[in-house]
Homo-oligomer: A and B are copies of this chain.
């Protein structure tokens, strides 16, 4: 057991639980402890022998964990927790507030360097694998256009926004790519697509007793930034229907780039897509293989903050460079 990469999980929500499941699929890794803000006695992990520890006690386990996977949210958890942990551990996180990535990177870089650790930020599928695919495709086809479509899947941000409306008891919002727009992007004709043309939004809402459905619907479809630029449909359902039909967490998406060579005569289309039964488990699986890379990069002497752009692909694979060349190239 001692030569396995020793992993800690911070936060035991959907992603944290997915990380635990993914570690069990990787023979070179071992889950050592789960760290929580809750009462540890209330948390029961799946893996035998795993400690559940108060988050405040993490510092005492510095010598027992090689990489800490931070499964907190980007809004409030990671901006605070990220740099704290980066001072003590190598870390992986899925920070996804796109506009604040440069600022977060700077904080993580300073903290990781202070602690002589390595932190890979914004790991997941978007940001993450989608970012990589945009970058590979743009480097290959510098003259071209790229398109990202998300869905069909749940947007937590949009679901939360609906839940904040007066009279709403529960709500979920699905982002749906418009098939005609996906086809147009794939065609290589490099169409200009508006926000409205690319995605539709579908909402399932449980009302509080006595709430005015028409008023709620109006507030949703006109909500600035969230819904006003989209064609949105709103369905009112019962709490029972909600629980029966809307608790799974599927998602998916497409990154398409089309570009030209030979003075515009030849068209090439590169597409990357994912279709996921469980968004948090897929994200968790990506976090786990990047934990392997963080461990190896730190062992090779690197420190500070990194992004997926800095990680050579071979480092995330359990296979050696020699094995990869012989079997995967």
Contacts and interface: CB of A to CB of B under 8 A. Distances in A.
Interface of A: 18, 21-22, 25-26, 98, 101-102, 105, 122, 127, 129, 131-136, 138-143, 186, 188, 261-263, 265-278, 281-282, 284-286, 289, 292, 307-314, 316-319, 321-322, 324-326, 328-329
A113 to B, nearest CB: 15
B329 A309 contact: yes
Contacts of A122: 325, 329
A142 B132 CA distance: 20
A277 B266 contact: yes
A4 to B, nearest CB: 15
30 contacts: A21-B261, A101-B325, A102-B326, A122-B329, A131-B328, A132-B136, A133-B272, A135-B317, A135-B319, A136-B313, A136-B316, A139-B289, A140-B285, A142-B318, A186-B275, A261-B281, A261-B282, A261-B285, A266-B276, A266-B277, A266-B278, A267-B277, A268-B285, A269-B275, A272-B272, A307-B314, A307-B329, A309-B317, A309-B321, A309-B324
Nearest to A24: B263
Given A309-B324, A321-B309, A268 B289 contact: no
A215 to B, nearest CB: 38
A271 B186 CA distance: 14
A302 to B, nearest CB: 11
Given A135-B328, A262-B21, A269-B274, A314 B321 contact: no
Contacts of A322: 102
B262 A278 contact: yes
A98 B329 contact: yes
B281 A262 contact: yes
B325 A309 contact: yes
A314 B135 contact: yes
Given A138-B328, A271-B272, A310-B312, 8 more contacts: A18-B261, A102-B322, A105-B325, A141-B285, A268-B274, A269-B274, A269-B276, A270-B272
Nearest to A322: B102
